[in-house]
Amino acid sequence: MTKDKLLGLAHHYAYAALSAVVASYVAGYHTPKDLSIAVLSAIIAPVLVALDPTNALLGFKLAPKIVQVGAEAGLENTK
Residue 40 is which amino acid? L
Q: How far apart are CA 64 and CA 66, in angstroms?
A: 6
Give the span between the Cα atoms of 46 and 9, in whole angstroms: 7
For the cut 80, the answer to whether the pLDDT of residue 9 exceeds it is: no
Structural domain contains residue 18: yes
- Name the residue type at position 21: V
Tens of pLDDT, residues 13-67? 888 899 999 999 999 999 999 999 999 888 887 777 777 777 666 555 555 566 6
Instruction: Report whether 33 contacts 26 (CB < 8 A).
Output: no
Tally of domains in the chain = 1
Average pLDDT rounded to a whole number, residues 64-74: 59
Residue 79 lies in a domain: no
For residue 1, the model assigns a pLDDT of 65
* pLDDT reported for residue 6: 79
Specify if 11 maps to a domain: yes
Domain that holds residue 69: 3-73
Does residue 17 form part of some domain? yes
Burial of 4 (0-12, 13-18, 19+ CB in 10 A): exposed
